[in-house]
Amino acid sequence: MKKMREWMYRFMYGRYGSDQLNMTLIFSALIMNFAAILLRSFWLSVLCDVLFLCAVYRMFSRNIVKRSLENRKFMDRTAGIRRRWKAFNLTRKDRANRYSVCPKCSQIVRYPRHRGNIEVICPKCGTTFVRRS
């Protein structure tokens, strides 16, 4: 077991490993694989194989700079979605308040629940927007 671990360390030395883009690729490939099984679609299963192979290629790649730039681009493009997801989860956990993303500066703003339609003022940029609380 120890030899296997050492072999793995040596094999992965200088290789990129995993990141958020890789995890997204693998997760999407899994979901698409289930969809392909349910729909009995050959081309969908080919597409999920391609996604999985891309993830494996990125994981074992030695071009760390290029892989990091790809991940950075992915993280920049999905920043809005991730912020909305974070606000959604904060709202789900907090029984007294709701959370929303400011449309101008993307700051997460908290406001009380059960007050009807209220005008929310962003503390960072001062933009006002109406949300149902």
List contacts with Zn ion (CB under 5 A).
102, 104-105, 107, 122, 124-125, 127
Least Å from the CB of residue 128 to Zn ion: 10
Phi, psi values for residue 126, rounded to 5°: 80, 5
In the complex with Zn ion, the residue whose CB is nearer, 35 or 105, is 105
DSSP 19-74: -HHHHHHHHHHHHHHHHHHHHT-HHHHHHHHHHHHHHHHHHH-S-HHHHHHHHHHH
How many CA atoms does the CB half-sphere of 44 hold within 13 Å? 13
Least Å from the CB of residue 98 to Zn ion: 16
Least Å from the CB of residue 118 to Zn ion: 16
Nearest to 30 by CA among 40, 45, 20: 45
Least Å from the CB of residue 110 to Zn ion: 13
In the complex with Zn ion, the residue whose CB is nearer, 37 or 121, is 121
In the complex with Zn ion, the residue whose CB is nearer, 32 or 87, is 87
In the complex with Zn ion, the residue whose CB is nearer, 62 or 82, is 82
